[in-house]
Every structure is written in structure tokens, then in C-alpha cells.
Structure 1
């Protein structure tokens, strides 16, 4: 799957953590670490042997895998395996949509308080909570929160209807994502005339996008901070993020000296997570895509376990 570079001590320039918030500076600069491990101890801990074994086992069973871990400060590769390969990414593909919405808020072309009527959006029950709420209208700002925090398909579709697919595709190009695409809205069933997937992407570009968000390089500092703030509310900590031990419903207030944002994507036979994890020792952006034969719950659990193994290795690396 790939090999990690030789470990090096990055403590002097590594970010520390706080919760994501909207300011004009990169989120990783909010605080600086005060604790340091001895160089030798850090070198012994900072390996990804367990992750490589887990991913090799999945690949041997026929899974398609793309993985990338990038140092936040340097932008250098920490771990990579087929990170250029384009694969389905499910709901993680809405991150460029959120960037487009935030850019519209900043430019004044979109009003955060503009109301969207649920009756004007095609029904979709694949995921989310808006379909279960009694309120028929929500603001664009609230829809962005639901899409980011709860993977709400109806909210994401409403945002996509409002800004339009051409605008999102243009934003993807502006972000420099050459191997990523938002192909379609969320649907309960995909027919022969529909795109086969919601979105496509590569782990390299996903990791780079999350790094740009926390480094205030995605469109502008304000847009980057807004999208990072939305993503900091994500409730799905069941994959890589399960190793952080954070409260899935309040992890933006439960940092424990960690900076953390993430987004997951799920389809039949597809599991994806990308994010940023920064602690006292180091900071990384990461992305892992696994496409597997979803033949039984055990096949699915094996795929999930590889994500959790990566999470444990990441925690050892940054903490």
C-alpha cells in the first residue's frame, strides 16, 4: 500500500490544538504545544506499521484503497498509497459544495438567512434529520450545518439546488482538484440515467483540501474558517476518528489539546474519511478511501477496523 518515510522530530513546528473557530488566522496556529517527548521515544512511536498491515490485508482481499497523510506545516508526505487514484467518496464530496456556499456568504451573493422550503426539494431519505423535523423551512446557514454535522442528504441537495452544479464544478476547478468531482445529488436509488456515484476523489486531493482549510488557504481565510467550523460539528466519529476518544456530539468543545475536523462518506461498498488531526507532537491532514465487497457485516467490519487502526496510528503520531 505504501511506506512511511523515516520518522523525524517535528515538535518544534508542530501545531497544537483548540476547537475550530472563525478567525483570520490558520486554525493550527491557535495554540502552540507545551509538552515534548524525547526524540528517541517519538521516533519509536511514530510509525504506521499496523495501518500498512491492515490495508495490505484489505487489498489482498480485493479492496481498492487510496490513502494519504500529509504534514500540516511542511506539506510533505507522511504516508501514501495509490493516493492519486480516483475512487467514489460518497457524502465526503459535499465539502467543495460547502466551500462554494461559504464563499457566497462572504461575497454577499448568498444570504445566510435565506429560507429554503423543504417542499421545493425532491424527497430523499438516505440519510439525515431534516426529513424527520416538523419545521418545513431552514436557512442556508442551518442547511450547511446539517449537511456538515449530520451528513443530511436533503440539506445537501437543497444547497446544491440553490447554488447550482456548474458553480460547484467551477469551485472544484478553482480549488485545483483535478481528480475530484461532484457528479450528482443524493438519491435513494440510482437508475441507469443517473450518475453511478454522488462524487469521486483521490486521497491526495482530499488531504490537501483539508490542509488548505485549516491553513486558511481555501479561497480565503474567512471561507476556510467557516467551512472548518461547520466540519468541526460532524457527528460521525465511527471510523478513523473513533481513536480520538472525543465526544461525537460535542467534540468541538472537548478538544483535549487536539485540533480535529473530519468528514466521512458512505455508499454500498465504499467507506471514506478525510480530516485534520493536530496535537502536541505534530499535525497532519489525512484521507483514506476503501472500496470493498460489501457482502456481509463481517466484510464491512473488516473495512471499518482498518480505519480505526489508522486512527490509532495517527493519535500516536500527533500525541
Structure 2
């Protein structure tokens, strides 16, 4: 299977679209949501404090997605590091948070919350060798929709954790996939009739987008995972589904 798709009404669980929703695919950066969940839980428990400052020098530099590798500042408050992950999927910030929390702590979140195939398997690497996990993350559309609907309802881990995670994701800047059909400015957190909170993942042959879209009519949770080498066709299909999502929430 190269596609895993599920779209539901986040309030009623009505299935609006589905295609092999339980297929396990590579999901690239989407599973950084689990990292943010682990951090939110640590902040709520007090094992990490909001005033803590994290220095990026604790991990090797990684490039590609993100901004921190382009900035001069080497240390940031933990909340700002999480914001970099949630808004621009920052790879270096991701690895700094994994270093601070421990990969085992991050990996414990999913199974404890009922996830099976959806997991963050490793840190981000510029080069992935034979001794490393073969992919950053895996997941299914059905499990990601369950995460999203629980975030919407405030039941993902806890109400406070759900609120923190949604806050970090609210400024997500990548609208190249499903959310591209909504016609929103990705650099402005919308307060109009249609709002989106989403997380994307991109790698060679991987395009994934999971999110919540709220409109005048209802809130829709979607997960569209594609492991298809035809990027042009994949993005066109994802935006086509985004058109349907826009109609459903209107």
C-alpha cells in the first residue's frame, strides 16, 4: 500500500473518506507530534520547567527543515524550541528536545495512549546508515485521526497536554499539501471562519499531512499519508482532498 487516508467528523466520528486507513507507512516528521506530547507531559509534571534554556550544542547540527540552523542564537527557552518544532518542523530543535527528554520517554507516549504502529523511531539524521533505524517514523491514518480527535476533545494524554500541543502546532507553516486547498496564509494563525492545525512530514517518496480543520459547520480530522514516488500527482491528489475538507467544514 502506498496511501493511507482517513477523514472524520471530529465531533461525531462520522467517516467522511477512507482508503486503507490501517496501512502502516513511513510518515517522516509527522511523529514529532509525539515528541511535543512528551514535552507537554513533562512540563505538566514539572520534570521540565518552562524557564529552562536548551542549548543546541548538545546535539550535532542537522539541516533541512527548520530555522535554528540558520540562526545565530545557540540557546532558547524550552517553549521556543517546541514552537520551532511545531511551526517549521525544526530538525535541530527536534533532536535537542529528544536529547533533553530521552527517546525512550518519547516512545512511551504512543503505546500508553493506545497507538500501535505509530511511532518516532529515531532522531533526525542528515545521513541514515545501515546501523540506524531505517526511517524516522511510521504510522497509520486511523491512528493519527484518533490522536487528532482526542486533541480536539482535550483527551489526548490530558486536557493540559492537549492544549499545549495544539498551541505549538497552531502556527504550522507548511500548507503545501492538504491544507493548501484552504487558501489560508500559513504565516498567520487564522482567527477567521476556517482554521487549521496541522503537521506535515516530507522525505524521499514521502508526503504526509495530518490535521484538524474547523469551519462554520464542524471540525474535521484528517490524516493523509502517501509513500508514492510521483510527488506531483501526490500533491495534486492531496489538494483535491483538501477541497473536499473545505466543503465539509463549510
TM over 0.5: yes
- Which residue pairs with 1:173 in the alignment? 111
- Which residue pairs with 2:121 in the alignment? 183
Q: What is the TM-score with the length of structure 1 in the denominator?
A: 0.76
1:6-155 correspondence runs (5 A): 64-155=2-93
Q: CA deviation at 1:86?
A: 0.8
- Which residue pairs with 1:305 in the alignment? 236
1:253-292 correspondence runs (5 A): 254-292=190-228
Q: CA deviation at 1:282?
A: 2.3
Cα-to-partner distance string for 1:14-51 (whole Å, 9 max, x where unaligned)? xxxxxxxxxxxxxxxxxxxxxxxxxxxxxxxxxxxxxx
- Which residue pairs with 1:203 in the alignment? 141
- Which residue pairs with 1:35 in the alignment? none
Distance 1:259 1:235 in 2: 13
Q: CA RMSD in A?
A: 1.1
- Which residue pairs with 1:25 in the alignment? none
Aligned counterpart for 1:245 among listed residues 183, 187, 212 = 183
Distance 2:115 2:8 in 1: 16
Q: Whose relative contact order is higher, 1 or 2, with alpha carbons under 8 Å and at least 6 apart?
A: 1
Give structure 1 stretches of 5+ with no counterpart.
Answer: 1-62, 294-298
Q: CA deviation at 1:219?
A: 1.3
Q: Is residue 57–residue 74 contact of structure 2 (8 Å, CA) maintained in 1?
A: yes
Distance 1:110 1:65 in 2: 37
Q: Is residue 126–residue 187 contact of structure 1 (8 Å, CA) maintained in 2?
A: no
Q: Is residue 246–residue 255 contact of structure 1 (8 Å, CA) maintained in 2?
A: no
Distance 1:76 1:194 in 2: 40
Q: What is the TM-score with the length of structure 2 in the denominator?
A: 0.97
Q: CA deviation at 1:186?
A: 0.4
Q: CA deviation at 1:117?
A: 1.4
Cα-to-partner distance string for 1:235-257 (whole Å, 9 max, x where unaligned)? 0011111111111111x2x2321
Distance 1:255 1:303 in 2: 29
Distance 1:259 1:210 in 2: 14
Give every structure 1 segment of 4 or more consecutive aligned residues whose post-TM-superposition deviation is greater than 3 Å.
none
Distance 1:232 1:74 in 2: 23
| Length, aligned pairs only | 250
